[in-house]
Amino acid sequence: MGKKILIITDSEFWKEDNGTNKRISQFIEKISSYGIKIEIAFIGKVYHKEKIEKIYQIIIHEIGTYKKNISLKLKDLINKFPKLREKIRNNLTHTTIKSLRDETIIKIFNKNIEINKYDVVIVEYIWLDYLLNSNYKGIKIIDTIDVQSDRFRTYQSNNQF
């Protein structure tokens, strides 16, 4: 059996409407071209899931709750208005890694994903790292886009990196 990769993300990569989404979609296309099986643990709801799976030749596992789906849609809406996004961002207090944990998402993730069947797990954002438990035996890659962020500094200060 060939190699299997799991990508944990909440980015709607199939939309390719921003740098992150485009980067993920290009990565999936390139890795798939080598015959490597890719599965996505998508934190949220995927509309037209079967169509997206067929286009990218992947399997998508929806890992979400009603509350999470609403917050992701709100985030998408805010991101469409750059001035509003910056105003909100400038007025937010710093969130910590621990405050981003969602116990319901952990339960759904663990119920739907048999983590040790993957050779590699790619965590798209450092804040999603909490979904991987210490029993995972494969290669774990955390997207380094967060290295310059407050989230990374929070990880460092808690000796979690």
> Tell me, what's the pLDDT at 118?
95
Complete DSSP assignment for the chain = ---EEEEEE-S-GGG--SHHHHHHHHHHHHHHHTT-EEEEEEES--TTHHHHHHHHT-EEEEE--HHHHHHHHHHHHHHT-HHHHHHHHHHPPPPPHHHH--HHHHHHHHHH--GGG-SEEEESSGGGGGGS-TT--SEEEE-GGGGGSHHHHHHHHTT--
> Tell me, what's the pLDDT at 84?
67
Q: Using the predicted structure, report yes or no on whether residue 122 has a pLDDT greater than 70.
A: yes
Q: Using the predicted structure, report yes or no on whether residue 57 has a pLDDT greater than 80.
A: yes
Provide the pLDDT confidence category of residue 99 given band limits of 50, 70 and 90. low
Provide the pLDDT confidence category of residue 96 given band limits of 50, 70 and 90. very low
For residues 77-100, give the mean pLDDT: 60
> Tell me, what's the pLDDT at 135?
84
Residues 6+ apart with CB under 8 A from 25: 13, 14, 16, 56
Over the chain, what is the mean pLDDT?
79
Q: Using the predicted structure, report yes or no on whether residue 60 has a pLDDT greater than 80.
A: yes
> Tell me, what's the pLDDT at 70?
59
Residues 6+ apart with CB under 8 A from 2: 35, 36, 37
Provide the pLDDT confidence category of residue 161 given band limits of 50, 70 and 90. very low
Residues 6+ apart with CB under 8 A from 57: 32, 38
> Tell me, what's the pLDDT at 94?
47
Contact 121, 140 (CB under 8 A): yes
Q: Rounded to two decimals, what is the model's pTM?
A: 0.73
> Tell me, what's the pLDDT at 75?
66
Of 5-9, 49-53, 99-103, the least confident: 99-103
- Which is it for strands 120-123 and 139-142: parallel, antiparallel or unpaired? parallel
